[in-house]
Structure 1
Amino acid sequence: MSASENKQLLRTAFDAWGTGDIRPLIAAMADDVTWTVGGHTSWSGSFRGKDSVRRDLLAPLGEQFDGTYTSTASRFVAEDDVVVVETRGSVATKAGARYDNQYCFVVRLEGGRIREITEYLDTQLVAEVLPDLAR
């Protein structure tokens, strides 16, 4: 796919996530996708495979939230098979804190599927608001 097609695929997925629907993003992932969360928190590291992303990252994260998490994209930059997406997440935690983080996702696509996601975020906010991820 072209850079503009890759960009449009991610724009569609992030438009849905902006309303709280992450399903299009998950559907666009290759079965062997790798999602890497930057930093040095208990949530940091690589999650390999779509099942691991759902089970080991997204499900435990979602359990922390009181309500629907949204991730609203503000910018998409595409070159070849890489699309960079800037977003802002928004949700309250069950503990009553706000988890309104800013992200930069660097996404590599191949054949219309997401192969790699590298997530850059405010890790201090993660450390302050989210409990440690048990692995």
Structure 2
Amino acid sequence: MSTNTTTTDANRQRIRRVMAELDKGNGAPFVEAMADDFSWTIPGDTPWSRTYSGKQVVLNELLRPLYAQFATPYVSTTHRVMADGDRVIIEFEGRVTTKAGKAYNNRYCYVCRMEGGQMKDLMEYLDTALVNSALDAPSSSSSSAALAA
């Protein structure tokens, strides 16, 4: 087996395990899979659109403010995990109701770059019109809820 095939298989399996746990409501493995210098980019024209650089920045400025808006548990369903070398693509959907009573049911495609079994960077493709209609702008001061840990 070539190094590329081994890397591809290892990365695919790692992310499949992480997403299987997220689908059960356990976000801790997703957070644990982030490298300390992890970056998460949300393209588009929303208040959430930018690159969040560093695991703590991702947690404090993206995930905590996002989850603070949710009134119900976030439920994800993973449809597909594909990998090629250090790149892993994840197709999934999420369902949740915000505290404002809005349905935030989005479909996602994550493109991750892996290094040493950790996610180094992630590009998140999603319905930005839904983000703008269902979510309030992020507030880094709200830290009441988190994906995990």
TM-score normalized by structure 2?
A: 0.87
Q: Which letter maps to 2:109? A: C
Q: 2:12 aligns with which of 7, 32, 53?
A: 7
Q: 2:108 aligns with which of 76, 93, 103?
A: 103
Deviations 1:69-112 (A, max 9, x none): 12221011110100000010011111111100000000100111
- 2:61 is paired with a residue whose SS is helix
Shift of 1:126: 0.3
Distance 1:37 1:73 in 2: 19
Shift of 1:67: 1.7
Q: Number of residue pairs matched? A: 135
- 1:99 is paired with a residue whose SS is coil
Aligned match of 1:16: 21
Q: Is the 8 A contact 2:39 2:122 kept in 1?
A: yes
Identity fraction in percent: 41
Shift of 1:3: 0.5
CA-based RMSD: 1.1
Distance 2:101 2:24 in 1: 21
Shift of 1:38: 1.8
Moved over 4 A (4+): none
Shift of 1:20: 1.7
Q: 2:132 aligns with which of 112, 127, 131?
A: 127
Within 5 Å, give how 1:49-60 maps onto structure 2. 49-60=54-65
Max Rg structure = 2
Aligned match of 2:52: 47
Distance 2:77 2:43 in 1: 19
Distance 1:19 1:112 in 2: 21
Q: Is the 8 A contact 2:61 2:139 kept in 1?
A: no
TM-score normalized by structure 1?
A: 0.96
Q: 1:88 aligns with which of 89, 93, 96?
A: 93
Please list every run of 5 or more consecutive structure 1 residues that lacks an aligned counterpart in the other structure.
none
- 1:2 is paired with a residue whose SS is helix
